[in-house]
A and B are shown apart, each in its own frame.
Chain A
Amino acid sequence: MIRRIASRAAASLAVVFGAVTLIFLILNWLPGDPAALIAGEGASAATIAQLRAQLGTDRPLILQYRDYLLGLLHGDLGRSYATHQPVLERLAAQLPSTVWLTLGATAVAVVVGVSLGVVAAMQNDRWIDRTIQTLALVVASIPSFWLGLLLILVFSVKLRWFPVIGDGSASAAVLPVACLGVVASVPLLRMVKSGILEGLHDPYVVTLRAKGLGAPRTLLVHVLRNALMATVTLVSVLVGELLSGAVVIETLFARQGIGRITVEAIGQKDLPVVQGAILLASIAYVVANLVVDVSYAIVDPRTRLRSATVSR
């Protein structure tokens, strides 16, 4: 297990290095002068030239790249071109909002997706199943942006249950988390349902039933556990998707977020900030994968057995 984690970590480092280098090249290859973008419309030529010198963007690329890597080794992510603020500070200010939104939405997606998936499988082809499938289709088809607007109109403007935008209270997080989570629950729901339906035909189910185990217990304890294997993988992919999909929801609900900062920084060619965000995303990706590995072990005892055999 430890050797596995070590090789994982080494691979992750390579991934991070590659991502950082690639982004550096792409951003520099894209047209646009960060100094002119920061100076703003109507700035004088002298202002722009001065900014270029201050940012160091007038130096050869290779030197800029070297300095960036050296800084990184010292844990220095550099300063934002636009605000002179340390990148770490800038990202840290936005991170909690994104983390809570992503975690909350993931939790909603898992609870809603798995429970509705089980119900749909149990009620396969009956009206409850058809209703769930139709709703899932509708939610999957409408843009999350529009769904969010709908939630705001109903629950904030009409019913006044929740605030539209954050006011420091937990209730302000309900709508954005629900919106993002419900959309993300659709693929989970479908996967759980089809996983259960497939599992029901496996020989072990016949054995269990023949031994006299009741249908609900067979389904919930044994079949669902098998179906969850694939679902766990999907959740790890989902977390990444939520992180990026959050931009729209963050904008709609006027929330802070890493996504918004990254989009803005790309537009401004604020290289240090983009690099920092990519670094963060790579780390989040690696962590999510580790968590999934551990969850495999919990859900599927075979994984534990196998790794135990290998390490011996």
Chain B
Amino acid sequence: MTRTLSRRAALAAMTSAGVAFVGACRRGGDPGHAPGAQDTPRPGGNLLFAFDGAAVTQFALDPHKSAFAPHHRIMRSIFDSLVVARPGHRFGPWLARSWEMSPDARSYTFHLRDDVTFHDGTRFDAAAVKENLDRIANPKNALFALSDLGPYEAADVVDPLTVRVRFSAGFAPFLINLSKTSLGIHSPKALREFGDRVEDHPTGTGPFRLRSTTPGTEVALERNPDYRWAPEGAAHDGPAWLERLTFRNVPEESTRVAVLRSGQAAGADLVPPQNLLELRASPEFRVLEAELLNHNYSLFFNTNRAPWNDAKLREAFRLSLDLDAAVKTVYLGTFSRAWSPLSPSIFGYDRSLEGSWAPDRESARRSLDALGWTPGPDGVRVKDGKRLSVVIPDSQGNREKRLDLLTLLRHQLRESGFDVRIESQSGGTLLAKIGAGDFDVLAASQFAPDPDVLRRIYTPLVRSQFSVAKVDDAELNRILGSASEEAEPAARAQLYAQAQRRIVAQTYAIPAYVLLYNLVTASRARDVAIDLHGFPTFHGAWLAS
């Protein structure tokens, strides 16, 4: 099952920092196998998986380019990474057998497996790794994964199976970023052959290869019969059990549940809370839930603009919220409320923030009075003739029941005299408003496995003008800058704890809930799993007869 770690252990554990891994995987009762049902994996079969691909009609299967989580859920089965993230903030070997990091985190050397081939028959080697990283690092290619490479300088092919990656400054998040699909390794031959249309010809080394796509509705994969380089922790080393794996985009949540209940699909993801409760109780289904490593869905204040540049007002806003009640009402106990901008399983998560703030309407009121915001005739507070209105633009509709949540919060805020308006609009309009800083509060999340996501969001140097956060805090910039360069795990965790506390203390953003990615399988589909980042894996999955 698990291969021994030996000499790699020390290196792999470099980011563990003694912070306990938070048990993210909650499993609903063991699959209701009938007694005597077969329990040993059986090869063959086609597993139909109904996934939430949203209204998107094109599957851009280029791991370096796509910023869209549903695409990465498919690509995880097609592309392998150099390393795999393991519990306890460790890393295990995958396409790289072992690696060394220089003490200043400016250089990483990887020793690669010698028996790996891409789906097109090309051999995997150091040159392939270099070609992939250079492609991503080239700003001309305008790839999303560019920000995963940090201060990338170059990759040197030391010998055919050894590659050294150099950075112009220390870059501690590199290993965790490498374990993401976004730094997955594409066949260099496919990259050259297909150019900017390579997204139609994803060619990795993964346990499944592309069979066909039907734009907007289906991506059909088939087993890679040569596969024998599963990552550490995989259920087995050989080719996947499933003969075929078909992802069907079913954007409507009720339809995903129906397709599962009718028996047409063997699995479905992102099942809404009300159905989740019911399916959990049923012996015919198995519910898997795991934390999606991310910057929690949070309300970001436009700190550039009055009156939200006033920390006291932001705090009064937060004191008016009863997040426990709101999250419980909307998600029926399937999600827990958040305390930090980071989701709990991310390295450096600061546990001390839990329970550190609570609703207190009375002190919110006093604080607003002191700031000069006095109740007007309709209960909305007014200062210098201006109403205390809060515009929250949104473009994603009720995804993850976010509008339901915002609506509840709106009622809570109203009691303190905030007049909240939620304005739905197209993505383009919203983006223009974000770029121009024309909003009061914005709510968003960002999937990311590393606390470096804080630097990408909260420091002006790295983010684009379209980032939801407008914070520019010299102290925070300093903390997050040094954290990304800090190689020593304990010191790094310390810096991130400081950063989280500062973001909460200054109320730059109000984290709302911890998202659990969920998938439900019918009892005939066995051993579908969710990886540490929160993405589904099918290498060990099989279909019972």
By a CB distance below 8 angstroms, the chain A residues around B60 are 82-83
Once the chains bind, are B427 and A94 in contact (CB under 8 Å)? no
- Chain B: which residue is nearest A54 at the CB level? B142
Per-residue interface assignment for chain B, residues 250 to 279, with 1 indicating a CB less than 8 Å from any chain A CB and 0 otherwise:
111011001101111100000000000000
Check if B262 sits within 8 Å of A164, measured CB to CB.
yes
Question: When chains A and B are docked, how far (Å) is the Cα of A294 from the Cα of B225?
Answer: 58
Q: Judge whether A50 and B139 touch: CB under 8 Å.
A: yes
The contact string, 1 if C-beta is below 8 Å from chain B, for chain A 85-112, is 1000010011000000000000000000
Instruction: Please state if A33 and B55 are interface contacts (CB–CB under 8 Å).
Output: no
Q: Which of A262-312 contact B (CB under 8 A)?
A: 263-264, 266-269
Among A165, A251, A267, the most chain B Cβ lie within 10 Å of the Cβ of: A165
> Are B465's CB and A267's CB within 8 A?
no
**B217, A48: Cβ atoms under 8 Å?**
no
Distance in angstroms between the alpha carbons of A157 and B275 in the assembled complex: 14
Roughly how many angstroms separate A266 CA and B466 CA in the complex, as a whole number?
A: 19
Residue picked from B214, B252, B463, B467, most chain A C-beta under 10 Å: B252
Chain A residue contacts of B467, Cβ below 8 A:
42
Give the number of residues in B that approach A within 8 Å (Cβ atoms): 59
Please, which residue of chain A has its CB at the minimum distance from the CB of B263?
A160
Of the listed stretches A14-22, A58-66, A252-260, name the one at the interface; the rest are far from the partner chain. A252-260
A139 within 8 A of B: no
| A47 to chain B: closest residue by CB | B142
Q: How near does chain A come to B279, taking the closest CB pair, in angstroms?
A: 13
A156 within 8 A of B: yes
Tell yes or no: A163 within 8 A of B by CB. yes
Please, what's the 1-or-0 string for A37-77, where 1 marks a CB less than 8 Å from any CB in chain B? 10111111111101100100000000000000000000000
Q: Are B55 and A165 in contact (CB under 8 A)?
A: no
Residues 165-188 (chain A) with a chain B CB within 8 angstroms:
165-167
A52 smallest CB distance to B (angstroms): 9
Task: Provide the residues of chain A in CB contact with B196, threshold 8 Å.
Answer: 84
Q: Are A31 and B433 in contact (CB under 8 A)?
A: yes
> With the chains together, A5 CA to B343 CA distance in Å?
65
Chain B residues in 8 Å Cβ range of A90: 58, 215
Q: Is the CB of A32 within 8 A of B426?
A: yes
Interface centre among A45, A47, A153, A157 (most CB of B within 10 A): A47
Q: Within 8 Å of chain A (Cβ to Cβ): is B435?
A: yes
Q: Do B67 and A252 touch across chains, with their CB atoms under 8 A apart?
A: no
**Chain A nearest Cβ from B456, distance in angstroms:** 6
* Cβ of B432 under 8 Å from chain A: yes
Q: Provided the pairs A43-B147, A253-B255 are in contact, do residues A31 and B264 lie with their beta carbons within 8 angstroms?
A: no
Query: Once the chains bind, are B250 and A165 in contact (CB under 8 Å)?
Result: yes
CB distance from B45 to the nearest CB of A (A): 15
- List the A side residues contacting B147 at CB < 8 Å: 42-44, 47
A30 beta carbon closer than 8 Å to chain B: yes
A200 at the interface (CB under 8 A from B): no
- Which one of B67, B142, B200, B254 contacts A41 once the chains associate, using CB atoms below 8 Å? B67
Q: Name the contact of A31 in the complex, choosing from B66, B217, B432, B462 (C-beta under 8 A).
A: B432
Cross-interface CB contact of B431 among A33, A54, A252, A261, cutoff 8 Å: A33
Given contact pairs A44-B462, A50-B142, A254 touches B217 in the complex (Cβ within 8 A): yes
Q: Contacts A30-B426, A33-B432, A42-B446 given: A48-B466 contact, CB under 8 Å?
A: yes
Contact across chains for A165 and B432 when beta carbons are under 8 A apart: no
Query: A34 contacts which chain B residues (CB < 8 A)?
Result: 428
B428 adjacent to A268 (CB under 8 Å) = yes
Interface residue? A136 (CB, 8 A)? no
A67 → chain B closest CB, angstroms: 19
Q: Counting CB contacts under 8 A, is A128 at the interface?
A: no
Chain A's interface size range is 35 or more
Check if A254 sits within 8 Å of B215, measured CB to CB.
no
Nearest residue (CB) in B for A265 is: B57
Q: Report the nearest A residue to B465, measured CB to CB.
A: A45
User: B362 to chain A: closest CB distance in Å?
Assistant: 37
Decide yes or no: A36 and B431 within 8 Å by CB, A42-B446, A45-B464 being known contacts. yes
Q: Does B366 contact A (CB under 8 A)?
A: no
Which residues in B have their C-beta under 8 angstroms from that of A152?
254-255, 258, 262
Residue A140 CB within 8 A of the other chain = no
A122 within 8 A of B: no
B68: Cβ under 8 A from any A Cβ: yes
Q: Which residues from A are CB-within-8-Å of B143?
A: 47
A165-B259 contact given A32-B426, A84-B197, A252-B252, CB 8 Å threshold = yes
Q: Residue B539 at the A interface, CB < 8 A?
A: no
- Specify which chain A residues have a CB less than 8 angstroms from the CB of B250 in the assembled complex: 165, 254
Question: By the criterion CB–CB under 8 Å, are A83 and B58 in contact?
Answer: yes
Given A50-B142, A254-B249, A261-B216, A267 contacting B427 (CB threshold 8 A): yes
* A-B CB pair tally, cutoff 8 Å: 173
For residue B199, CB closer than 8 A to chain A, the reply is: yes
**Contact: A163 with B262, CB < 8 Å?**
yes
How far, in whole Å, are A166 and B248 apart by their CA atoms in the complex? Answer: 10
Asked whether B262 lies within 8 Å of A157 as measured between CB atoms, the reply is: yes
Decide yes or no: A43 and B144 within 8 Å by CB, A84-B196, A94-B215, A149-B254 being known contacts: yes
Distance from B223 Cβ to chain A, minimum over Cβ atoms (Å): 21
B422-446 Cβ-contact flags toward A at 8 Å (1 or 0): 0000111111110100000000101
Given the known inter-chain contacts A153-B258, A256-B215, please indicate yes or no for A39 contacting B264, CB distance below 8 A. no
Complex contact A43–B67 (CB within 8 A): yes
CB atoms of B217 and A255 under 8 A apart = yes
Asked whether, in the complex, the Cβ of A44 is within 8 Å of the Cβ of B146, the reply is: yes
Interface contact A36-B466, CB-CB below 8 Å: yes
Indicate whether B105 reaches chain A with its CB closer than 8 angstroms. Answer: no
**Closest residue to B68 on the A side, CB-wise?**
A40
Minimum CB–CB distance for A48 against chain B, Å: 6
Could you tell me the distance in whole angstroms from the C-beta of B281 to the nearest C-beta in chain A? Answer: 17
CB distance from B372 to the nearest CB of A (A): 33
Which residue of the partner chain, among B144, B258, B426, B464, contacts A266 with CB atoms under 8 Å? B426
Tell me whether A260 and B142 are in contact in the complex, defined as CB-CB below 8 angstroms, given that A42-B147, A94-B216 are known contacts: no
A165 and B264 contact, Cβ closer than 8 Å, known pairs A41-B444, A251-B252: yes
Q: A40-B68, A46-B139, A256-B216 are in contact. Are A164 and B259 (CB under 8 A)?
A: yes
B50 in contact (CB, < 8 A)? yes
Known: A41-B67, A252-B255. A156 touches B262 (CB 8 A): yes
**B56 interfacial contact with A, CB 8 Å:** yes
CB neighbors of A among B110-150 (8 A): 139-144, 146-147
Q: Is the CB of A264 within 8 A of B55?
A: yes
**Given A42-B67, A252-B255, does the pair A260, B216 have CB atoms closer than 8 Å?**
yes
CB distance from B52 to the nearest CB of A (A): 10
B251/A94 in contact, CB under 8 A: no
Inter-chain CA distance A34–B466, complex, in Å, is 12
Shortest Cβ gap from B138 to chain A (Å):
9
In the docked arrangement, what's the CA distance between A85 and B194, Å? 12
Residues of A within 8 A of B57 (CB): 94, 256, 260-261, 264
Q: List 11 A-B contacts (CB under 8 A).
A: A33-B435, A39-B67, A42-B67, A44-B463, A50-B139, A83-B199, A164-B255, A165-B250, A252-B252, A264-B56, A266-B426
Given contacts A30-B426, A36-B464, 11 further A-B contacts (CB under 8 A): A41-B67, A44-B147, A46-B142, A48-B466, A84-B196, A165-B259, A252-B252, A254-B249, A254-B251, A260-B55, A264-B55
Q: Which residues of B pack against A, CB within 8 Å?
A: 50, 55-58, 60, 66-68, 139-144, 146-147, 196-197, 199-200, 214-217, 248-252, 254-255, 258-259, 261-265, 395, 426-433, 435, 444, 446, 456-457, 462-467
Closest 6 CB pairs of A and B: A32-B428, A40-B67, A31-B432, A50-B142, A45-B464, A254-B250
